[in-house]
Amino acid sequence: MTASPKYLLYIAMLVALVLAPLGQGNYIVYVLCSWLIFSVAAMGLNLTLGYAGQVSLAQAAFMGIGAYITALMTMAGYHWLLAMPFAILSCFGIGLILGYPALRVQHHFLAFVTLAFNTLVFLVLRNEEWLTGGSFGLVPIPRPDFFGFSTFKQVPFYYFALVCFLLAAGAMAWIVRSPWGRAFKALRENPIRANSLGLNTRLMTLLAFAIGSGFAGLAGAMMAPLVQFIEPGSFTLIHSLKILLMVVVGGSGFYYGPFLGAAIVVLLPELLRFTEGYYLIIYAAFVLVLMVFSPNGLIGLWQKLMDRFRTQQVERSDLKDGAQL
């Protein structure tokens, strides 16, 4: 019986996600779609950063790789269902190759390697016109059909994105609950102790990074048919930083952190329209303050507040015990 409120909450969240686009204008539905997509990318980075404790600054580049692979394949006539796994596996593979040398050494070298990698990917996307269309990008990217269910219109596309999102979230929940998830957390908490308990720390860190990159590949595969036009400028370092901030603001290492963070980064500009260009300034200042006061992000802040509330209650019950004695 104790589990039932939790399931009710899950059902309520699901219903809210299903009902969200109904009766909304095309633009709002578009924004909701990009929230779903960035949630997937941020979820992946959360595994790398929040669970395994490594900074990756190339999440947007992996999204770009996924998006370009999907665009090129679907434009060549292959079905999205074929292109998507290809995008994910490519990102996973590149993650392994890129992470292997970086994780052999200490410090936060992965951060620097991914920083360089993001810029390299941008250069390749921009310069190899024969393949990527250069700075003109790729257009028009078709939206997929599934056995007669066309995702051409915005609301059907939302449901398509929602299904992808739910599958990704389910996969992530599975990973986090599995012994792998425990190993990732152990890496973040105390890598030396984890190593002494038989955990191959380098292998697991590498896997966390590659899986996180694979999620970015999926996000890219979802992004290409949503925007139908992709260009190198959408996958630069600043976008990687944005995804990183999503994870951190939401609360890195918390399962729901990336969803909250993505909502804030994607939806807040819409709400803060009136601040015009100052939006990024306000946002960056907010992140700075948040990091100083609550390095675990908004969910961490919430938990801290709840803990304070709870300990007060405990103190009160202690007092009561004292009175009874």
From the list 10, 25, 78, 127, which residue makes contact with another protein (rule: CB under 8 A)?
Answer: 127
Q: In the complex with another protein, which residue's Cβ is closer, 73 or 246?
A: 246
- Please identify which residue in 40, 245, 262, 265 interacts with another protein, judged by CB under 8 A: 245
77: contact with another protein by CB under 8 A: no
* 179 makes contact with another protein (CB under 8 A): yes
Bridge partners, residue 150, by sequence: 145
List 4, 16, 77, 107, residue binding another protein (CB under 8 A):
107
Joined tokens for residue 76: 């060549």
Minimum distance of another protein from residue 69's CB (angstroms): 21
x/- mask, another protein, residues 190-209, rule CB under 8 A, reads xxxxxxxxxxxxx-------
> What is the separation of C-alpha 271 from the centre of its chain, rounded to a whole number of angstroms?
21
Piece of 19-27, 48-56, 86-94, 141-149 that binds another protein (CB under 8 A) = 48-56
| For another protein, the closer CB: 24 or 201 | 201
Which residue in the set 285, 305, 306, 319 belongs to the binding site for another protein (CB under 8 A)? 285
Q: Find the shortest distance in angstroms from Cβ 307 to another protein.
A: 10
Contact with another protein (CB under 8 A) among 31, 55, 155, 301:
55
Q: What are the start-end ranges of the H helices in the chain?
A: 4-19, 26-46, 59-75, 80-102, 109-127, 129-132, 154-177, 179-189, 191-196, 201-227, 237-250, 257-271, 279-293, 297-324
Q: Which two tokens stand for residue 137?
A: 């990008």
What does the H/E/C string look like for 156-198?
HHHHHHHHHHHHHHHHHHHHHHCHHHHHHHHHHHCHHHHHHCC
Candidate residues 29, 141, 186, 263; the one interacting with another protein per rule CB under 8 A: 186
Nearer to another protein, 28 or 96 (CB): 96
Interacting residue with another protein among 96, 241, 268, 301 (CB under 8 A): 241
d(CA 88, CA 218): 5
Q: Is 180 exposed, middle or buried (0-12, 13-18, 19+ CB in 10 A)?
A: middle
Instruction: Give residues with Cβ within 8 angstroms of 125, minimum separation 6.
Output: 64, 68, 132, 232, 235
Instruction: Characterize 20-57 residue by residue with b for buried, 16 or more Cβ atoms within 10 angstroms of its Cβ, and e for exposed.
Output: bbeeeeeebbbebbbbbbbbbbbbbbbbbbbbbbbbbb
Collapsing DSSP to helix, strand or coil, 230 comes out as strand
Q: Which stretch binds another protein (CB under 8 A): 17-25, 113-121, 137-145, 162-170?
A: 113-121
Decide if residue 233 touches another protein (CB under 8 A). no
Return the residues of window 8-47 that contact another protein according to CB under 8 A. none
107, with CB counted inside 10 A (0-12, 13-18, 19+), is exposed
CB of 242 to another protein, least distance (A): 9
Give contact residues for another protein (rule: CB under 8 A). Answer: 49, 53, 55, 101-102, 104-109, 111-113, 115-117, 119-120, 123, 126-127, 175, 177-183, 185-186, 189-202, 237-238, 241, 244-245, 248, 253, 277-278, 280-281, 283-285, 287-288, 291-292, 295
